[in-house]
Chains A and B, each alone.
Chain A
Amino acid sequence: MSSRANAATRKLTTAARTAAQSVIAERGGIGVAVGFYVIVVSVLSGLWRVAAHANGGRLAGYSAVAITWYIATTECAVVSLNIRMIDDIGRDIGSGAVAVELLRPASVVAVRVATEVGRALPRLTALAVAAVVVASLEAGAPPRPVTLLLAYPSLVLAIAVNIVAQHAFAAAAFWLRDAGSTWFLYQKLVFILGGMLIPLEALPGWLHGAANALPWRAMAYVPARLASGHLEPVLLLEQVAWLVALGAIAAAIFGAGQRRLQVVGG
């Protein structure tokens, strides 16, 4: 690796580490996230377990135990992140606050993504522990424990893909001046097409097909599919592919937006 690439990696690692340390220092936030997570998982997985039992023990190919681990994992992937990230990024762009970041000797979008990943990791780890506890207590042992070894790295990739995609979405604010409430819509795409609320196998055929072709399933469904006992390592490759593709898109849009911002700023 060249010394320039090394320096860039060091800068991003420092940004991620600093963000992680600030989240760890402010423990109240993690506590609230875990409390919220436990409530959400208990409710949603309870609903699906009742439904599975009412349908002869299986639903859309998932047993009551498997679907509990599925829901515990999808929620873990989503609750780890700042739900209004798109709104926050859009506000920074719209207000011009992002201009200050252009002065740094590093890519704005790369530093922002590294910071958000760093911020999410302590939460993700705490929630992953909570997921194991809640799912074990409510449904029992994981259907295939070995898949959990793939589920954690998959969760890390899931939040990385999600963060990068949110930056690509929010960069529209360079032109629109505001990402407004689009975070609402984005979240709903994760809810349904990402498989957060409902396993993709339970969707009607046409919607299932559409969801399989879109990136949102890499943000929730993939780690959940693994944690629910499906040993499908190829899913990790799919996440890496989406990460690279969305990263390139986010960098291109941010790059174009930054040039426009410089023109507007005179």
Chain B
Amino acid sequence: MNGLLATMRNALAEAAAKRAALLSAMTIMIVNDAVWVAFWVLFFHRVGHLHGWDSRRVLLLLSVMTSAAGITLGLFSNARRVGQMAVEGALDAVLALPVQPLPFLLVRRVEPVNIGDFAFGITLFCIVGHPTPVHIVVFAGVVLAASVLITGFLVLTGSIAFFAGRGEGGELGFHAILLLGSYPVDVFAGAAKVMLYTVVPAAFVSSIPARLVLSFDPARAAWLVGISALFATAGTVAFTRGLRRYTSGAVWTRG
């Protein structure tokens, strides 16, 4: 555990050392997210309400989504690179270290641009989420659960590369969960809606957490925690099993 903490500290220090780059990357991502705010404001300005969602609710959804994705892609940024690293034989350096490979890999690299996502999400929550103490606690809890889910899902889809020999599955999973999580689940119907609760659990990444902030429901919260734990476990198992099939590429990287 000490090794992991030290690794994470180093990764954070590395990102913070390039302060100008960090700030510019964060700013770019904040502007990027602001465009989505503009899209939803324009959309609901034209449409009004849609299946119980209005601009405030969707912006709350966006705040949960960007905060959770900011934690995963910012602090555990290698989660989205598992497939690529497996295919390129770039895990050699990690396997030689006296630490658990997956946790080490996850905390090894900080992506400054996605820290901007996190900052944006928190700011947006403060603006549209009526941040009472209860709301703040629920928001923090659901963001953490959603972040665990996204991380587990990315590791799971990335680990397909160990078995398939190609990394595209991870990339597709990455785009799918972030994209689908950006929309309220109630605008979908039929098979698409089923998919959002199962294969690509985007509903648990944004819509359900946003509803919990708006109106807390213990049963729904338990589902969220359970599904997050399920994907975290599935990701860990897939990565561990995949490592047994990993073929070294004799490539040494800093991960």
Contacts and interface: CB of A to CB of B under 8 A. Distances in A.
A59 B39 contact: no
Contact of A181 (B28, B38, B51): B28
Interface residues of A, number: 31
Contacts of B38: 192
B194 interface: no
Contact of A180 (B24, B46, B176, B180): B24
A59 to B, nearest CB: 7
B175 A47 contact: no
A39 to B, nearest CB: 5
A46 interface: yes
Interface string A46-74: 11001100110001100000000000000
Contact of B42 (A46, A188, A204): A204
Given A36-B172, A181-B28, A184-B28, A59 B187 contact: no
Interface in A43-102: 43, 46-47, 50-51, 54-55, 59-60
Given A43-B179, A46-B187, A47-B187, A31 B168 contact: yes
Contacts of B24: 180-181
Given A35-B172, A46-B188, A47-B187, A185 B42 contact: no
A247 to B, nearest CB: 27
B246 interface: no
A43 B180 contact: yes
A188 B33 CA distance: 10
A42 interface: yes
A42 B183 CA distance: 12
Interface string A191-211: 110000110001110000000
A32 interface: yes
A188 B183 contact: no
Contacts of A204: 42, 45
Contacts of B187: 46-47, 50
Nearest to B190: A46
Contacts of B168: 28-29, 31-32
A126 interface: no
Contacts, number: 81
Q: Secondary structure of the B side of the interface?
A: helix
Contacts of B28: 180-182, 184-185
B192 A46 contact: yes
Contacts of B172: 32, 35-36
B171 interface: yes
Nearest to B186: A50
Listed residue (A50, A181, A191) with the most chain B CB atoms within 10 angstroms of its CB: A181
B75 interface: no
Interface string A13-53: 00000000000000011011001100110110011001100
Interface in B1-59: 24-25, 28-29, 31-32, 35, 38-39, 42-43, 45-51
Given A36-B175, A50-B187, A202 B166 contact: no
A185 B47 contact: no
Given A184-B29, A185-B28, A198 B43 contact: yes
A50 B192 CA distance: 14
8 contacts: A28-B168, A39-B176, A50-B51, A51-B50, A54-B50, A59-B46, A60-B46, A188-B35
Interface of B: 24-25, 28-29, 31-32, 35, 38-39, 42-43, 45-51, 113, 166, 168, 171-172, 175-176, 179-180, 183, 187-189, 192
Given A39-B175, A43-B183, A50-B187, 9 more contacts: A28-B168, A40-B179, A54-B49, A54-B50, A180-B24, A181-B28, A185-B32, A203-B42, A204-B42
Closest 4 CB pairs between A and B?
A181-B28, A188-B35, A32-B168, A51-B47
